[in-house]
Structure 1
């Protein structure tokens, strides 16, 4: 009987710890938070991609949903995330040499997406912030055949950055 109790003790302690603390195995601290409202991130960048706002907003919700126990709600919540996509740029990052009769061409280009985020934590106001996040991916060739894949990867990097800033204090 004592051996059975000794074997169950660590499990009971972990269960107690997990139920009394809002802490996930990812290291994300949501102590005191029960709900979060994630508002639609409007694309206000000079260059607009039609699906970017919806895709980014859903990526951020998915990141929160899959890593925390917070309920995503509309309206009033114990935490709120809102913002806008403020930048979508494609710039050359390297130049390919050509003959002297033609201008140089881009050897590689960089897609950069910038998002401005306001996070409000009503339980611990010191954790609230307004910050700009920017990530990029380099590519070669035509953007049209790679754009969706590049945007998906950049969205993942951005949502990781935002999530870590809000819940891991990185």
Structure 2
């Protein structure tokens, strides 16, 4: 009896792990894989006047990894069924909060990317739009000491926004 319960539980888990409904999967992607098989993701050049060197490769690698890890789309260099391209257009910092003495207490870092998305199987989904992510830090810390952590945080946020806008259809 115990063995039967374990077998039924295992079957149920396998069934749940493979469930999908009209292309909607538990990983968030809603791609019709019978029509869409490939994706072309171009490297996003940095067009911002202020630049932190590792920002470009961090963003580009994370974007490609997101689609590799969360879809079954094959990444190609050209002629993809879906195409994502764009540029990092802005990387800025500004004072966010001021102390009672009138000095800056918190600084906000901001990163903006412009994205052009083309779906050759359904051009109604094509778009060009900007996505922005922000992160704050205490001005008692230097930008150099927090920059990598904050850029990684903003990159994750931007990649999630792009993924949701392109294949999650939320």
What TM bracket, shorter-length normalisation? 0.7 to 0.9
Number of residue equivalences: 159
State whether structure 2 residue 78 is matched by structure 1 residue 63: no
- Partners in 2 of 1:107 and 1:16 — Cα distance? 50
State whether structure 2 residue 132 is matched by structure 1 residue 131: no
What is the CA-CA distance between 1:105 and the residue it aligns to? Answer: 2.0
1:59-98 counterparts in 2 under 5 A?
Answer: 59-98=62-101
TM-score by length of structure 1 reads 0.84
Could you say which residue in structure 1 is the equivalent of 2:110? 112
Could you say which residue in structure 2 is the equivalent of 1:142? 142
What are the superposed Cα offsets for residues 18-64 of structure 1, whole Å, 9 maximum, x if unpaired?
6x965432231111211111101000011011121111111101111
Unaligned runs of 5+ in 2: none
1:2-13 counterparts in 2 under 5 A?
Answer: none
Could you say which residue in structure 2 is the equivalent of 1:28? 29
Residues 21 and 50 (structure 1), Cα distance of their counterparts in 2 relative to 1, 3 Å cut: same
- Partners in 2 of 1:157 and 1:15 — Cα distance? 26
What is the CA-CA distance between 1:122 and the residue it aligns to? Answer: 0.5
Q: Which of structures 1 and 2 has the bigger CA Rg?
A: 1
Could you say which residue in structure 1 is the equivalent of 2:152? 152
Unaligned runs of 5+ in 1: 99-103
RMSD: 2.5
